[in-house]
């Protein structure tokens, strides 16, 4: 019986890890490029076809029966310069937010700038969020204070 090679447990077993391989199983001197090139070309063709299909899919617009083409406003168009009108409206709104003015002069309700309102709330702290003090409601003498009227028969819980 032949002696076991160093690192092998028994003879007759050829293991690549130890450096032994059965005769005739060595790597070939040349690599067949044809299958590798064909595989690479197929992968490239599949990738190109997929990207082209996705490009066509996302570029096309399918119109359903409920979609309508965008329309212009009919004549007469009253807004000659919508961008200027929008800028003017935003400036007016900003002036209202940043200025003082009356909301209801008769009742004494005024508006203050947002930054001033935030400063006042920060000064007051938690007290700014407390519920307003409600006056105590005293029942009218002789009433039952919201309880059921005396003329109504008491409910005995009899079911009917």
70-105 pLDDT, tens digit each: 788 777 778 888 899 999 999 999 999 999 999 899
Helix, strand, or coil (residue 104) = strand
Q: Residue 54 domain-assigned?
A: yes
pLDDT on residue 12:
56
User: How confident is the model over 61-72, as pLDDT tens digits?
Assistant: 877 778 777 788
Q: Which domain holds residue 48?
A: 35-61
pLDDT on residue 16:
54
Specify the residue for token string 């617009």: 61
Q: What gap in Å lies between CA 27 and CA 33, rounded to an integer?
A: 15
pLDDT on residue 42:
98
**Below-50 pLDDT ranges, the chain:** 1
Q: Residue 56 domain-assigned?
A: yes
Number of domains the chain is built from:
2
pLDDT on residue 111:
92
Q: Residue 125 domain-assigned?
A: yes
pLDDT on residue 68:
78
Q: Residue 105 domain-assigned?
A: yes
Q: Residue 117 domain-assigned?
A: yes
Tell me if 11 sits within 8 A of 2, measured CB to CB: yes
pLDDT on residue 1:
46
């Amino acid at each position: 019986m032949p002696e076991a090679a160093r690192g092998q447990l028994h003879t007759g077993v050829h293991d690549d890890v130890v450096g032994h391989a059965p005769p005739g199983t060595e790597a070939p001197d040349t690599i067949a490029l044809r299958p590798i090139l064909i595989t690479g070309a197929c992968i490239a063709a599949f990738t190109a076809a997929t990207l082209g299909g996705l490009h066509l899919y996302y570029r096309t617009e399918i119109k359903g029966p409920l979609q309508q083409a965008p329309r212009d406003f009919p004549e007469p168009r009253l807004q000659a310069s919508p961008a200027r009108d929008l800028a003017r409206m935003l400036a007016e709104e900003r002036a209202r937010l940043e200025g003082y003015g009356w909301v209801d002069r008769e009742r004494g309700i005024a508006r203050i700038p947002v930054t001033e309102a935030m400063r006042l709330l920060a000064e007051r702290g938690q007290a700014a969020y407390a519920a307003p003090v409600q006056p105590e409601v005293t029942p009218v003498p002789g009433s039952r204070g919201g309880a059921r009227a005396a003329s109504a028969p008491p409910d005995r819980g009899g079911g009917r």
